[in-house]
Structure 1
Amino acid sequence: MLKQSLVLAASLLSISSYALADAERWFEVEIYIFERQGNAFEEMTNNPANMNKRQPIDMISPLFNTDITGASIGLEGCTAQQWLENADKCNQQLSSAQVSSPSTIPASIGAATPQYAKEGESTVLLAPSQAQFDDMISTLSKEPGHKSLLHMTWQQSMQPRHRATPIRLYAGDDFSERYGKDGYLIDHQVAASDIPQFNFDYGLGNSETKAPIWQLEGAINIYLNHYLYVETALTLHEEGTKIPPQIDRYKDTETVMSSTPVPYLFNIWMAQNKRVISDEIHYFDHPNMGMLLQIRKMTQPNEMSQEALEQLGVFVDSPSKLDDNSGLEAKTVNDSVY
């Protein structure tokens, strides 16, 4: 009887250990998004993406945005972890603030110094020096019509789809000073009664403050369900010309097209969902843009020694938080899955 009890206790302890080990599976993610200039625009009427509706984690805004009201009302910008833990509160804070954004976001996004994930965090933006796509980007940049849009690397704890949080992505020029939400020039707006209007405020608060219209914007959702899966919901805004529609007010059912094309900001969507394999480089194709993605196995944060972190150029303030077995060799995620 005692022997059976000991066996049962050992089994339960083993199961608990495996469950705890599966709670956090960290991976390193690198993406490179580029535009193919010169191809005909593939515009769709409606966004085809079926993206996770959770509030996305934003690692880019803290690098560039300035809260011009925060100092006066005591607000502090939310970190990526705070967005994950209390998105509603962060969104409410964002709604009450006036945020000053630059007119252009560079293609290369990264932390100022090398970083490494810590247990309990959600995502960690890495420095450009920790990226591995530089040679491929150099080769691709020589192709005609190639234009870099966004290159960034981060580490994140992978979750099942129902718990995964998307990552917000945006870069390039802000077109909001020239174009309205309907795609037409602000000084050449089509009458509101002529074109159906949609709400694109995205909960950014004060309606008098124009939300940026970035050249590239959207989100990527990566989740783990034994295998790794990637969902993309990206929009490329590209300048072109279009003949605006006009409604014949005497014939409600008949649309008469103007014969004169006017400047227009096209919405080009790339929405894909595919299973990927860790450490392999995957290519997401589209007539007007492309994306390279690699999800790399990494040493788990609780298995990193202080010496290993320092070799990467990462210096921590609290060495006591590191695993006691700091002299052990670094381990990576089990190769038998993903």
Structure 2
Amino acid sequence: MSVYLKCVFGAVLLAASNTATAQSNAAERWFEIELIVFSPARSADLKEQFDNDVTPIRLSNSFDLVTAHYQPQINTLLGTLVRCAETEQISDPLLPAKLRDWQQWQPVYYPLFCLSEQQPAAWQRTSLFPEILLNNELPMPASLPVQLAGKSDNHMPVPYLAPRSAFGLTELAAKINRQPNQTVLLHTVWRQAPVTEKLAVPSRWFAGADYSELVDYWGRDRQQAANDDSSTGLTLVESPRQDDLFSAIDTLLDQLNAAGKLEALPDQPQVLRISDSLSNLPDNVWQLDGLFKLHLDHYLFVNTDFNLRRFAADGMQSINVKQSRRVISGELHYLDHPYLGMIIQIRRFQPPEPETVEEIDVGEVTALQQ
């Protein structure tokens, strides 16, 4: 087949692919979700009491747009950098005299962007062939900005953050933030195509300050917890391999219990399973952390499950806020709670039509071939 015919058939396949994509986008109903989460101002006069125990929110089977925004994949960028030569200096006669004099006291590294991470010694390597070991994860901010927006307006087939131009409740968020003792924790907009509740995957959102250095996930003071663990000889390190081990232990216990090999102790309170205690929990302790699920079953439904951390007289308090609501697109919905308020607006979004290639008549292709 000639190069010309290959180009023609390639254009035909591209046109068919674009037509299928356009039909798929037309079949999907995309929505734009704007979410404002804030801490109300009336908690000081609240007489209702809440349980101080931490309600764990598991992150399995959820997608995270916040981490991807602050910790993007930089493996490709790191692969283009070269190793820094710490003893190499720039000997350029065109440099100013002051800079050449400064080189005598402080080496100048070249090139400007290079890899300067210290590598393990040869005897510390586990691989036969040397490889560059790099930290490819950017550090998270100690406190996240309130407004979370995407960097591009390019449409994607998966849920993604919308740009700042899509924010429609900015004035409302500013008005809420101006109220005394009232703070907006998160204001974001994202786009997704909802599915049925059975197939729906929740999105994870976290905001505010990072309390990881103060308390662990269960609200215990880290210094006090470390002292308690050292005194009892208890050292549990959370890792995927250990999670699998705990899950295997729980499975074996279930099998023994089903076979009648275990006898239940009388007046024994229910003990939390090991795997449930340590698996699929967030690595960091954020001021706000939880899940938001949108699903479509004739109507739009919203399920939220968030933990709010706040300082109390007896230490760090965790308040679980779990709500469900049927919503109508275009309307403004307020999910009320004494400690956590949410304003939600879900709007229809029409994805842009993909560029199509003009279809080529088969008869014209045959004539050209002859």
The normalised TM-score by structure 2 is 0.55
- Taking the TM superposition and a 5 Å limit, the aligned residue runs for 1:165-314 are 165-189=201-225, 191=228, 199-202=277-280, 211-242=283-314, 264-302=315-353
Q: Match for residue 67 of structure 2? A: 61
2-structure distance, mates of 1:202, 1:97: 22
State the partner residue of 2:355: 322
Relative to structure 1, is the Cα distance of residues 170 and 265 closer, same or farther in structure 2, using a 3 angstrom cutoff?
Answer: same
1:50-71: CA deviation from partner (whole Å, max 9, x where unpaired)? x9x8621111112212679998
Equivalent position amino acid for 2:296 in 1: L
Secondary structure, counterpart of 2:168 in structure 1: coil
- C-alpha separation in 2, matches of 1:178 and 1:73: 36
User: What percent of counterpart residues are identical?
Assistant: 25
Structure 1 position 176, deviation (Å) = 0.7
Task: Report SS of the residue matched to 1:282.
Answer: strand
Query: Which one of 28, 45, 53 corresponds to residue 24 of structure 1?
Result: 28
Higher percent of residues as helix? 2
User: Higher Cα Rg: structure 1 or 2?
Assistant: 2
RMSD, aligned CA: 3.5
> 38, 47, 50: which is aligned to 1:34?
38
For residue 175 of structure 2, give the secondary structure of its aligned residue in structure 1: helix
Q: What's the secondary structure of 2:313's corresponding residue?
A: strand
Q: Please list the CA deviations of residues 126-159 of structure 1 after superposition, one character each: whole Å capped at 9, or x if unmatched.
A: 1123200111112212222111100000111111
The aligned residue for residue 104 of structure 1 is: 143
Please say if residues 71 and 137 of structure 2, whose CA atoms lie closer than 8 Å, have aligned partners that are also in contact.
no
Other structure's SS at 2:64 match: coil
**Alpha-carbon shift at residue 295 of structure 1 (Å):** 0.4
Aligned residues of 1:65 and 1:102 also touching (Cα < 8 A): no
Instruction: Please report the TM-score for the alignment, with normalisation by the length of structure 1.
Output: 0.60
Cα deviations by residue, 1:272-292 (Å, 9 ceiling, x for unpaired): 111100000100111011000
Question: Structure with the greater relative contact order (CA < 8 A, sep ≥ 6): 1 or 2?
Answer: 2
Q: Is the Cα contact below 8 Å between 2:32 and 2:190 reproduced in 1?
A: yes
Between the aligned partners of 2:136 and 2:324, the Cα distance in structure 1 is 35
1:54·1:165 contact (CA, 8 Å) conserved in 2?
A: no
How many residue pairs are counted as aligned between the two chains?
236
| Structure 1 gap ranges (5+) | 1-18, 75-95, 205-210, 243-263, 303-320, 326-338
Distance in 2 separating the partners of 1:213 and 1:46: 12
Kindly indicate whether the alpha-carbon contact (under 8 Å) linking 1:181 and 1:200 is maintained by their aligned counterparts in 2. no
Q: How far, CA to CA, are the matches of 1:142 and 1:151 in structure 2?
A: 15
Q: Decide which of 177, 180, 183 is 1:141's aligned counterpart.
A: 177
- Helix, strand or coil at the partner of 2:205: strand
**Cα separation, 2, equivalents of 1:22 and 1:66:** 30
CA contact (8 A) 1:168 1:219 kept: yes
Residue by residue, what CA displacement relative to the aligned partner does 1:206-237 show, whole Å, maximum 9, x if unpaired? xxxxx210111111000000100000011111
1:42 shift after superposition: 3.3
Counterparts of 2:162 and 2:24, CA distance in 1 = 26
Sort the Cα spacing of 1:66 and 1:212 in 2 relative to 1 into closer, same or farther, 3 A.
farther
